[in-house]
Amino acid sequence: MLIHLILKDLKIEWRSKEIITSMFIFGLSITLIFALAFQVAPGLIHAFASGLLWVVILFTSVLGLNRLFSLEREEHAMWSWTSAPVDRGTVYIAKVFSALIFVLMSELLFIVPFFIFLNLPANFSFFQLALILFLGTGAIVSVGCLISGITLQAGLRDVLIPILLFPSASPVAIAATKCTGFLFDKKPLADWNFWLLILCSFFVVFGLFGYLVFNRIVEE
Amino acid sequence: MSFFNYRNNLIHAAVAAALATINIFIVLTLDPPNLAQGVFGNIFYIHVPVAWSAFLLYFAVMVCGIFFLTKKSIEWDHRGLACAEVGTLFMFLVLTTGPIWAKPAWGFFWPWEPRLTTSLVLFLIFLGYFMLRQFGGNPEQVSRYAAVVGILAFLDVPLIFLSVKFWLPEMQSHPQVGQYFDSANPLPTYLVIFSFISLLVLSSLMVRFRTNILSMKDAS
Amino acid sequence: MNLQVTDLSKSFYRSPVFHSFSFQLESGEKVGLLGPNGSGKTTLLKMISGIMSIDSGEIKIGENIVNPDESAARKYLYYLGHSVGLYPGLTAIENLSFIAGLYEKNDFSIINIVNKVGLHDTENKLVKFYSQGMLQRLKLATALILNPDILLLDEPLAGLDAEGIQLFESLYTEWRGGGKTMLIVSHDPDWLSSKTDRIIELN
């Protein structure tokens, strides 16, 4: 059932490519603004690079989550599964994985321009970067999908998603920035595995919470 | 019948007023725990108990949210909203007294210290909570959404605290707060506990009063 | 499969739409719902199908309670509403396969069903390009695939042309012969009384 639900989102996105494209272009635009804003002190960018990367990811995630859940609102498509004999917690988990796939794919696209425009060296382990991106993005989308579900039928949802998501995801911003900063400074994994644990804990806590309450928030 | 027509509510109000008056007298007249801070040091007797009360109220919002989702009784929604309102007011006091105290104590207005930062993040989440209450749709749906956000906010607290605690190792929790709870001079400890009890009585009165108004509004 | 609604209450913006409302549908019974706009006909169907929450009371399908935490009751019914309930970004066949998968149905031929409802030329077209009548036919196709015990039909003729109405009538005859339990909403009392065993009037 989980795969069935994820494949539905992937199929729609494969056809329209709307979510990944808009996240990629938005990510590029924010990167451009950072490059222009920090150009007066190029040396500073290296110190802030890890934080800037996660600002870009957080902002593009909001866009992606908004679009992913708008698919369910259009023509009340979500009635197909709210009235079906499907565990709604499973629908939430499927949305988390769909969001994770889309955001990770857009990250893969804008991360190279990010490094090029900000003139950042890339002499670190790409496997470790992938791990940080996976866990950090997973943590963001676990709470993001819950918040998007809450605001699915609300007015002002475009505004409510970032207003609720950004403070809730502040531990992710801190932990992911720390991990990335240590990685860019080529520190060993043992120095920053505590922050990976924070990301994992966030992913698990909010993933579990979302699974338990999603059935209550999707009813009209 | 008005809230203050009931004898027990009148007694509650009288006790709250008496304790608050004594509390104000203590704060204005006694020496601060750290004489070097002058009169600003007395903020300690407000800031710490208000912070404890605010966190307790936000914990109550989470409990009310859980009860509302499981028992579906509108009374729990009213209590949750009342606790959120009073808690946010108290948290606003924490965030204003904090910088006023920090400047003479540490030389700058905003220390990114774990407890104060956790307070700020919670405050922002609850501003989003009130926006959701206002713009979230019909009241029946919004009650469910608000319950979930109230639970989400408090689930986030340990993660926020841990992240901030290890984020800036040089900015550990209020070192002076630990010093003030020194067994050699127990007076500050007793005064803070007294202040906390007085605020508990006052905040419980405010919550009961507000819950009563919400129930009456609903009934009409 | 019978349907039992007991002491159902529901409010919107603190105004009650249903207050301690009860009724029962025996297995195989066809009941009509009539009432002015805003009387709660669609709301009732949405609550029975699990799309909308209830404030208090109980809805039972056989022995299964309709409950957000349990999905068992929802496999016995299908709600054919006047909102689309389909993904505009998927084709007709993809929508049908998706919904069939949610109900774990695989004992059908999509092509036969699509032909039966008259969508054989457009089954690979995205649903966002479908007209109102075509969407209604697609929803009828969904009902055929799912073959539920209880059908909740909310103005089933909406958007259908003369051929579409004929299609519905033939499907209705099949369902009636198959002993399906039906709850039908319509604004046409004469049509409704010809299709149902009794009518409940909401006000």
Query: What pLDDT, in 10s, does the model give residues C142-151?
Result: 999 999 999 9
User: Could you give the strand order of the β-sheet that contains C56-61, starting from the edge strand earlier in sequence?
Assistant: C15-25, C3-12, C56-61, C64-65
Residue B56 CB-density burial (10 A; 0-12 exposed, 13-18 middle, 19+ buried): middle
pLDDT for the residue B38: 65
Domain hosting residue C182, numbered range: 3-201
pLDDT for the residue B35: 63
pLDDT for the residue B79: 97
- Angle at Cα C8 formed by Cα C4 and Cα C11, nearest 5°? 150
CA dihedral sign of residues A7, A10, A14, A18: positive
Chain B partners within 8 Å of C11 (Cβ): 140
pLDDT of residue C138 exceeding 90: yes
Alpha helices in A118-188 (DSSP H): 126-150, 157-168, 170-184
Share of chain A above pLDDT 70, in %: 99
C-alpha B190, offset from chain centre: 19
Q: Are C142 and C96 in contact (CB under 8 A)?
A: yes
DSSP assignment, residue C118? T
- How would DSSP label each residue in chain B? --GGGSHHHHHHHHHHHHHHHHHHHHHHHSPPSSGGGGGGGGGHHHHHHHHHHHHHHHHHHHHHHHHHHHH--HHHHHHHHHHHHHHHHHHHHHHHHHHHHHHHHHSSS----HHHHHHHHHHHHHHHHHHHHHHSSSHHHHHHHHHHHHHHHHHHHHHHHHHHHHHSTTS-S-HHHHHHS-TTS-HHHHHHHHHHHHHHHHHHHHHHHHHHHHHHHHH-
- Predicted TM-score (pTM) of the model is 0.92
pLDDT, mean of residues A111-117: 92
Q: Which of A93, A84, A59, A69 is nearest to A13 (CA)?
A: A69
pLDDT for the residue B172: 56
Closest CA in chain A for residue B129: A164
DSSP assignment, residue B183? T
Query: Would you state the torsion angle of the CA atoms of residues A123, A124, A127, A128, taken in this order, to the nearest 10 degrees?
Result: -160
Query: For residue B33, what pLDDT band results from cuts at 50, 70 and 90?
Result: low
Cβ–Cβ below 8 Å for C13 and B139: yes
pLDDT of residue A87 exceeding 90: yes
CA dihedral sign of residues B9, B14, B18, B20: positive
Q: How far is C14 from chain B (nearest CA, A)?
A: 7
Share of chain A above pLDDT 90, in %: 79
pLDDT for the residue A123: 86
3-state helix, strand, coil in chain B (%, to 5): 85, 0, 15
* Distances, alpha carbon B44 to alpha carbons B162, B188, C62, in Å: 23, 9, 63
Q: Which of B184, B208, B197 is nearest to B48 (CA)?
A: B197
C-alpha B7, offset from chain centre: 27
Q: What is the pLDDT of residues A20-39, one digit of tens each?
A: 999 999 999 999 998 888 77
Complex ipTM value: 0.91
pLDDT of residue A40 exceeding 80: no
φ/ψ bin of C7: left (φ > 0), alpha (ψ from -120 to 50), beta (otherwise): left
Share of chain B above pLDDT 70, in %: 88
Distance CA A213, CA A209 (A): 6
Overall domain count for chain C: 1
Residue written as token pair 């009961």: B208
Query: For residue A4, what pLDDT band results from cuts at 50, 70 and 90?
Result: very high
Q: What is the pLDDT of residues C44-59, one digit of tens each?
A: 999 999 999 999 999 9
pLDDT for the residue A131: 95
C-alpha A117, offset from chain centre: 22
3-state helix, strand, coil in chain A (%, to 5): 85, 0, 15
Helix axes B114-135, A157-168, angle to 10 degrees: 160
Q: What is the pLDDT of residues A156-187, one digit of tens each?
A: 888 999 999 999 999 999 999 999 999 999 89
pLDDT for the residue B58: 97
Chain B partners within 8 Å of A213 (Cβ): 69, 148, 151
Query: For residue A47, what pLDDT band results from cuts at 50, 70 and 90?
Result: confident
Q: Are C98 and C110 in contact (CB under 8 A)?
A: no
Chain A partners within 8 Å of B137 (Cβ): 153-155
Q: Are C23 and C45 in contact (CB under 8 A)?
A: no
Name the residue among C14, C53, C56 with its Cβ closest to that of B139.
C14
Q: Which two tokens stand for residue B198?
A: 């007085």
Q: Are A141 and A172 in contact (CB under 8 A)?
A: no
Overall domain count for chain A: 1
pLDDT for the residue B192: 87
Q: Are A217 and A82 in contact (CB under 8 A)?
A: no
Q: Are A115 and A169 in contact (CB under 8 A)?
A: no
Q: Which of A81, A68, A71, A75 is nearest to C86 (CA)?
A: A75
Chains that touch C (3 or more CB pairs under 8 A): A, B
Chain A partners within 8 Å of C124 (Cβ): none
Query: For residue B178, what pLDDT band results from cuts at 50, 70 and 90?
Result: low
Chain C partners within 8 Å of A76 (Cβ): 81, 83-85
Higher pLDDT, B61 or A122: B61
Closest CA in chain C for residue A76: C85
Q: Give the Cβ contact number of residue C112 at 10 Å.
A: 10
Q: How far is A130 from chain B (nearest CA, A)?
A: 21
Query: For residue B27, what pLDDT band results from cuts at 50, 70 and 90?
Result: confident
Closest CA in chain B for residue C16: B140
pLDDT, mean of residues B177-197: 76
For chain A, give the number of residues: 220
Chain C partners within 8 Å of B139 (Cβ): 13-14
Interface probe, candidates A142, A168, A201, A217, chain B, greatest B C-beta count within 10 A = A168
Name the residue among C12, C14, C53 with its Cβ closest to that of B218.
C14
Chain B partners within 8 Å of A163 (Cβ): 127-128, 131
Average pLDDT along chain A? 93
Q: Are C79 and C51 in contact (CB under 8 A)?
A: yes
Report which secondary-structure segment, H or E, holds B1: none
Q: Are A154 and A160 in contact (CB under 8 A)?
A: yes
Cβ–Cβ below 8 Å for B138 and C55: no
C-alpha C83, offset from chain centre: 11
Binding-face residues of C in 133-192 toward A, CB within 8 A = none
C-alpha A13, offset from chain centre: 16
Chain B partners within 8 Å of A201 (Cβ): 159
Q: Are A111 and A29 in contact (CB under 8 A)?
A: no
Interface probe, candidates A213, A214, A215, chain B, greatest B C-beta count within 10 A = A213
Q: What is the pLDDT of residues C59-91, one digit of tens each?
A: 999 999 998 888 889 999 999 987 878 999 999
Pairing of strands C64-65, C77-80: unpaired
Q: Are A89 and A212 in contact (CB under 8 A)?
A: yes
Name the residue among B72, B140, B144 with its Cβ closest to that of C11.
B140
pLDDT for the residue B183: 59
pLDDT for the residue A14: 94
Pairing of strands C30-34, C181-185: parallel
Least confident of A42-46, A215-219, C21-25, C49-53: A42-46
Query: For residue B200, what pLDDT band results from cuts at 50, 70 and 90?
Result: very high
* Position A79, amino acid: W
Q: Which two tokens stand for residue C38?
A: 């805003």
Closest CA in chain A for residue B159: A171
Higher pLDDT, C203 or B34: C203
Chain A partners within 8 Å of C69 (Cβ): 215
**C98 touching A (Cβ < 8 Å):** yes
* Distances, alpha carbon C40 to alpha carbons C47, C66, C166, in Å: 10, 18, 28
Query: For residue C94, what pLDDT band results from cuts at 50, 70 and 90?
Result: very high
pLDDT for the residue B191: 86
Cβ–Cβ below 8 Å for C85 and A84: no
Closest CA in chain B for residue A220: B141
Cβ–Cβ below 8 Å for C68 and A88: yes
Q: Which of C189, C102, C198, C197 is nearest to C142 (CA)?
A: C102
Question: What number of C-beta contacts closer than 8 Å exist between A and B?
Answer: 87
Query: For residue A208, what pLDDT band results from cuts at 50, 70 and 90?
Result: very high
pLDDT for the residue B168: 73
Query: For residue C104, what pLDDT band results from cuts at 50, 70 and 90?
Result: very high
CA dihedral sign of residues B214, B215, B216, B220: positive
Least confident of A111-125, B80-94, B172-186, C113-127: B172-186
Chain C partners within 8 Å of A9 (Cβ): none
Chain A partners within 8 Å of B160 (Cβ): 170-171
- Angle at Cα B172 formed by Cα B167 and Cα B178, nearest 5°? 155
Distance CA C77, CA C85 (A): 15
Q: Are A67 and A19 in contact (CB under 8 A)?
A: yes
Average pLDDT along chain C? 92
pLDDT, mean of residues A108-115: 93
Interface probe, candidates A148, A174, A202, chain B, greatest B C-beta count within 10 A = A174
pLDDT for the residue B100: 87
Q: How far is C20 from chain B (nearest CA, A)?
A: 16
Phi then psi for A45, rounded to 5 degrees?
A: -60, -40
Domain hosting residue A23, numbered range: 2-217
Cβ–Cβ below 8 Å for A4 and C75: no
Cβ–Cβ below 8 Å for C55 and B72: yes
pLDDT, mean of residues C194-201: 93
Query: Which residues are CB-contacts of A10 (< 8 A; sequence separation ≥ 6)?
Result: A98, A101
Query: Which residues are CB-contacts of C169 (< 8 A; sequence separation ≥ 6)?
Result: none
Cβ–Cβ below 8 Å for A163 and B127: yes
* Distances, alpha carbon A109 to alpha carbons A119, A140, B108, C2, C24, in Å: 17, 19, 42, 54, 57
